[in-house]
């Protein structure tokens, strides 16, 4: 598990908002994962992946990318300076703007596939997810006709281990 506690409150809010039962956490070799991606990754994202893994929020509204998915975007990242950490069925990309040296300082943006620019948010990936799920006035809010919020796991190539390891 990652040891950095900054931003944990957003993760706990996301767990509450989705009713996610994180009885197990993913054990990820982050050094190897970051080598495959070609970049260090924010601690916020690491916690998000360890708790949720690969899957979808609200039936395809946001599909969370695991590190192997991120590695497929390396050329896009090199060309655009953004690295997608999630996407959805409406061809939207949820990205980090990687112009800061420290991954913890990367803001996020939401953009359509093929867009040159996106809408920038000075927050973490997890904070953006919470705001989209819980704030009806957010520009990328989850559709109002959903009466609840949820996460569905797609399974994962990473080994599952009991909580607390």
Read off the pLDDT of residues 138-164 as tens digits, 9 standing for 90 and up.
887 776 655 556 676 766 443 343 333
165 within a domain of the structure (yes/no)? no
Contact 151, 144 (CB under 8 A): no
Q: How far apart are CA 1 and CA 163, in angstroms?
A: 9
Residue 50: CATH number of its domain: 3.40.1580.10
140 within a domain of the structure (yes/no)? yes
1 within a domain of the structure (yes/no)? no
Residue pointed to by tokens 């690969």 = 54
Residue 127 belongs to domain spanning: 8-159
2 within a domain of the structure (yes/no)? no
pLDDT, residue 58, reads 73
Read off the pLDDT of residues 84-131 as tens digits, 9 standing for 90 and up.
999 888 888 999 999 877 999 999 999 987 766 789 999 999 999 899
Considering its fold, how many domains does the chain have in total? 1
33 within a domain of the structure (yes/no)? yes
Q: Is the pTM of this model over 0.95?
A: no
164 within a domain of the structure (yes/no)? no
34 within a domain of the structure (yes/no)? yes
pLDDT, residue 63, reads 87
Residue 136, token pair as written in the block: 């009806």
pLDDT, residue 143, reads 63
61 within a domain of the structure (yes/no)? yes
| Residue 113 DSSP class | T
């Amino acid at each position: 598990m990652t040891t950095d506690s900054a931003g944990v409150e957003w993760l706990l809010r996301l767990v509450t908002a989705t009713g996610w039962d994180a009885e197990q956490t993913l054990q990820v070799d982050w050094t190897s994962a970051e080598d495959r991606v070609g970049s260090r990754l924010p601690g916020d994202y690491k916690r998000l992946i360890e708790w949720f893994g690969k899957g979808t929020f609200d039936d395809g509204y946001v599909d969370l990318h695991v590190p192997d998915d991120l590695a497929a975007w390396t050329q896009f990242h090199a060309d655009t300076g953004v690295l997608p950490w999630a996407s959805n069925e409406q061809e939207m990309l949820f990205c980090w703007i990687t112009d800061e040296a420290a991954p913890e300082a990367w803001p996020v943006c939401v953009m359509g596939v093929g867009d040159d620019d996106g809408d920038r948010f000075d927050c973490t990936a997890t904070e953006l997810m919470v705001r989209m799920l819980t704030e009806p006035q957010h520009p990328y809010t989850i559709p109002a006709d959903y009466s609840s919020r949820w996460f569905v796991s797609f399974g994962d190539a990473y080994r599952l281990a009991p909580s607390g390891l």
